[in-house]
Each structure stands twice: as structure tokens, then as C-alpha cells.
Amino acid sequence: MTRSLIFAGSLLAVALLAGCGEPSKTNETSEPAAASAAADYERGPHRGRMLRDGDFAVEVTIFEDGVDPEFHVYAYRNDKPVAPGDVQLSIELARLGGKVDRFAFTPQEAYLRGGGVVIEPHSFDVKVRAVEGGRTHNWSYASYEGRTTIAAQAAQAGGVRSERAGPATVAELIDMAGRIEITPEGKADVRARLPGQILWITGQLGQAVQRGQTLLRVESSHSLQTYAVTAPISGIIIEKNVNVGDTTGDRALFVIADPTKLHAEFFVYPRDAERVRVGQRVSLRSLSGEAKLEAEVEAVLPTADLASQTLMARVHLPASAARMFRPGMGVEGAFAVASANVPLAVRTKAIQRFRDFEVVYAKVGNSYEVRMLEIGRRTPEWTEVLGGLEPGTEYVTDGAFLIRADIEKSGASHDH
């Protein structure tokens, strides 16, 4: 909480780049005086951006109704339409990171159509060049979307961390429900060797005992001599079934369990039975999601439950698991039944929502900008990227939600 507050406070001092459609200060010619620094620029009849130079003007729009986004540009002289064939037009888009997209235009019935797709995000520095009637017109402006700039110190204080996108091993997972149990080796019954009467007891329910520790003394019914009954393993007494004066029999006098010897038991349905194997990695988590660890399948029992037809898969847990899990607790497990090496992946925790897209935030210097992802396989750790991100791109892994909040606060919109 403290880090978030520091981050939010630091951002107040940061100069943010404006949202999509926000103009910069004017270029070689001029932009209309009506266009303010708050993304309030003159719009034309098609709701596009009007760029004027004397009596000549162009209206720049991005058309994406049922097609991939493409430029449609309308030309005017004295606010009257100019035939598209009378204008030669080109546009350059300089993107964050240095990439430049160039578009040539061909005349259509009422507009000039850009050749090529305007790739998301629609965030760039724009240069427009038009030639008509022997005159050349040049404009430039900034049109940013999903972008913000944050000082390095403020980002660090807010917990923002990044890494470069690249290849990864992405597993195919099957989710199953299970429970934590003590292993057979971690539980022992305490029994008397000979029948007789119990004269003395020191073991108590919940008591921690060591292997070989005396728990009670019995007077043998045959020899009338007393002998000690000791703990066969170290652990906690979880059952006590006798008192002083009782006679021993076939029943267990005590039950001792070692809470550090645990495994998880999962119920494998028939549709998954052929895919679960000994040695596979399993990501365990408590039902609350707070306790997590990685483990391996140690055994798949060959017999099925008569009622449910499920098999039992046992997952070995390290001794340290006793700090997070207790016998009888319900758990969930993600079994890695297959894996594939993919050329490009990002951390799943880095993915955020932006408009109708799943995105990560690319980092270039102190600037951050959305990258709309085409997503393949996904696991809790890694998500395969099929498109929308260049290999080697530095992207935000931790604190991405803070970048998102800052962009939303700045009002970065999808506007042209």
C-alpha cells in the first residue's frame, strides 16, 4: 500500500504524453488555432482531423468499420471537396521505439485510400505530405494512444519492473481438485507387545514426541512384569485411545503423525487418466490461493474408485510444505501434462485489459505504451504471443496495473 501511494504521488509531477488524437505544437506550416493542447482539434465532415495550409486542407481519418484499420483522407480547397486524383499524398508514422510505417495513397471515388493496415496501437508521431496544384504542403502532429511517461525514480518507487520478451517453455495444464494427507510413512500406530494392564501413561493428545520416547508402561498379564511402550516415530500424537487401568488389546493405544511428511491426493477422471504420469510437474495452491508451491507426481495408483471411476494421483510435498498446508486441507493442482518451446512469450501476470484487447506495456526509456497481443497457449506463469509484440521488446512484468491506471487517468483514448 505504501509503495502504491508513493507511486501515485510521484506521478503528479510527471509530464504525461496525451491520449490518441492529441496534437503536438504545430509543424512546418501550421495547425488551426482552434486546436488546443488538450486534444481539442478541428474535426472535418467525416469526424477526422483537419490539417490546413492556406486555402488547402486535408481531413485524416482511420476507417475500421468491418475492415482492418486503414487511412481514408479527404482533400478540400476553400472547404470544397477536391478530386482525389488531383492530390499526391503520403503519411509517415513514427512509433515509440523508432519504427516508422510509411503509407502511399491511391485515389478512390471520394477519398485517398492508404495502402496497408494501420497497426494497433494507433499511437505515433505523424507526418503528412500532400502535393496539389504544383504546391507542397507538410504537417506533423502527435497522436498518442495508451501511452504515458513516468520518471524512472517514480516507476521504481511504484514497484514497476520489466524484462525482455523472448522464448519460453509453455506447459499444457490440467486442473484437478485434491486434498492434503499424511504419507503412509508419516503415520504410525502405537501398540502393546503383550496383553496386560496399563499402569502409567505420559503421552497426551497433541503432544510432540520423539522416536523411542516412552509413552506408557504395561504390566504383563503373563509374567506380571512391567515393560515400556515407546514411540515408533517422531511426530505429534493425533489419537489417544487408552487411560490408566485399561487393558491392552489389538487396538492402537496412540496414533502418531509426522506433519512434515505430506503428499497431495488428486482425483483423476477417466478422460485425463492416460495423460497423467509420474514425474510431471504440478503447481499446487490452497483454495484461498495464498499458499502455492511446485511439486511432482510421485505415483498414480492403478485401481479406480468404484463409484466415481477416478484414479488417485499422489504428489510428493517437501518438508517445508508443512508451513503452508495441513492434513485434510483442500487444494487445487495444475498438472503439466505436456509442454512446448515457443519462440515468444510474456509473463501471464503482465497482461492487462485495454479497450477490447489483452495487452502488455512496452517500455522505451521512461515511456510506456500498450502492445495489443494475439495470444496462444496460456499458463499461470507464461502466455504464448502469436502477434502484436516484437521479440526482445522490454515490457512491464510487475506494476503493470499501475501503468494502466496512469494511462486511464491521462484520458488516452482511441480517437483519430
**CATH number of domain containing 97:** 2.60.40.3340
> Is residue 69, in this structure, part of any structural domain at all?
yes
Q: What is the pLDDT of residue 412?
A: 53
> Is residue 409, in this structure, part of any structural domain at all?
no
> Under 8 Å CB-to-CB from 336, ≥6 apart: which residues?
171, 172, 173, 280, 281, 282, 283, 379
Mean pLDDT of 170-189: 91
Whether residue 74 sits in one domain with residue 39: yes
Q: What is the pLDDT of residue 103?
A: 98
User: What is the CATH number for 208?
Assistant: 2.40.50.100
Q: Using CA atoms, how far apart are residues 330 and 66, in angstroms rounded to an integer?
A: 48
Which phi and psi (to 5°) does residue 391 adopt? -55, 140
> Under 8 Å CB-to-CB from 46, ≥6 apart: which residues?
59, 61, 72, 74
3: pLDDT strictly greater than 60:
no
Which phi and psi (to 5°) does residue 320 adopt? -65, -15
Read off the pTM: 0.63
Q: Using CA atoms, how far apart are residues 249 and 218, in angstroms rounded to an integer?
A: 11
Query: Do 17 and 145 form a contact (C-beta atoms < 8 A)?
Result: no
pLDDT in tens, 324-363: 999 999 999 989 888 889 999 999 999 999 988 999 999 9
C-alpha grid cell, residue 138: 507538410
Whether residue 308 sits in one domain with residue 223: no
Whether residue 178 sits in one domain with residue 92: no
Q: What is the pLDDT of residue 121?
A: 94
pLDDT in tens, 384-396: 999 999 999 999 9
Whether residue 126 sits in one domain with residue 46: yes
Number of domains in the chain: 3
Nearest-5° Cα angle at 100, 94 to 102 = 105
> Is residue 119, in this structure, part of any structural domain at all?
yes
Whether residue 111 sits in one domain with residue 32: yes
Whether residue 193 sits in one domain with residue 178: no
Whether residue 26 sits in one domain with residue 127: yes
> Is residue 27, in this structure, part of any structural domain at all?
yes
Which phi and psi (to 5°) does residue 6 adopt? -60, -45
Please tell me which residue, 310 or 28, carries the higher pLDDT value: 310
Whether residue 209 sits in one domain with residue 109: no
Residue 356: Cβ within 10 Å count: 7
Whether residue 220 sits in one domain with residue 304: no
Q: Of the candidates 316, 331, 346, which is a domain's last residue?
A: 331
Query: What DSSP string describes 230-290?
Result: E-SSSEEEEEE---TTPBP-SS-SEEEE-TT-EEEEEEE-HHHHTT--TT-EEEEEETTS-
Query: What DSSP string describes 296-323?
Result: EEEEE-SPPPTTT--EEEEEE--GGGGG
> What is the biggest distance separating any 2 CA atoms in the chain, rounded to whole angstroms?
125
> Is residue 264, in this structure, part of any structural domain at all?
no
Domain holding 292, by residue range, is 174-182+269-331
Q: What is the pLDDT of residue 173?
A: 86
Q: Using CA atoms, how far apart are residues 283 and 303, in angstroms rounded to an integer?
A: 24
Q: Of the candidates 331, 349, 374, which is a domain's last residue?
A: 331
Q: Hunting for cell 505504451 — which residue is that? A: 369
Query: Do 325 and 317 form a contact (C-beta atoms < 8 A)?
Result: yes
Q: Of the candidates 226, 257, 288, which is a domain's last residue?
A: 257
At CB < 8 A and 24+ separation, what contacts does 64-72 make? Answer: 68/117, 69/117, 69/118, 69/119, 69/120, 69/122, 70/113, 70/114, 70/116, 70/117, 70/118, 71/103, 71/105, 71/112, 71/113, 71/114, 71/118, 72/46, 72/48, 72/108, 72/111, 72/112, 72/113, 72/114
Whether residue 178 sits in one domain with residue 327: yes
369: pLDDT strictly greater than 70:
yes
25: pLDDT strictly greater than 50:
no
Query: What DSSP string describes 181-206?
Result: EE-GGGEEEE--SS-EEEEEE---TT
> Is residue 66, in this structure, part of any structural domain at all?
yes
User: What is the CATH number for 309?
Assistant: 2.40.30.170
pLDDT in tens, 220-265: 998 999 999 999 999 999 999 999 999 998 889 999 999 999 999 9
Top-confidence range, 49-58, 264-273, 315-324, 395-404: 49-58
> Is residue 318, in this structure, part of any structural domain at all?
yes
Q: Using CA atoms, how far apart are residues 124 and 369, in angstroms rounded to an integer?
A: 11
- Among 318, 301, 337, 393, CA closest to 172: 337
Q: Using CA atoms, how far apart are residues 128 and 90, in angstroms rounded to an integer?
A: 6
> Is residue 376, in this structure, part of any structural domain at all?
no
Whether residue 216 sits in one domain with residue 321: no
Whether residue 212 sits in one domain with residue 75: no
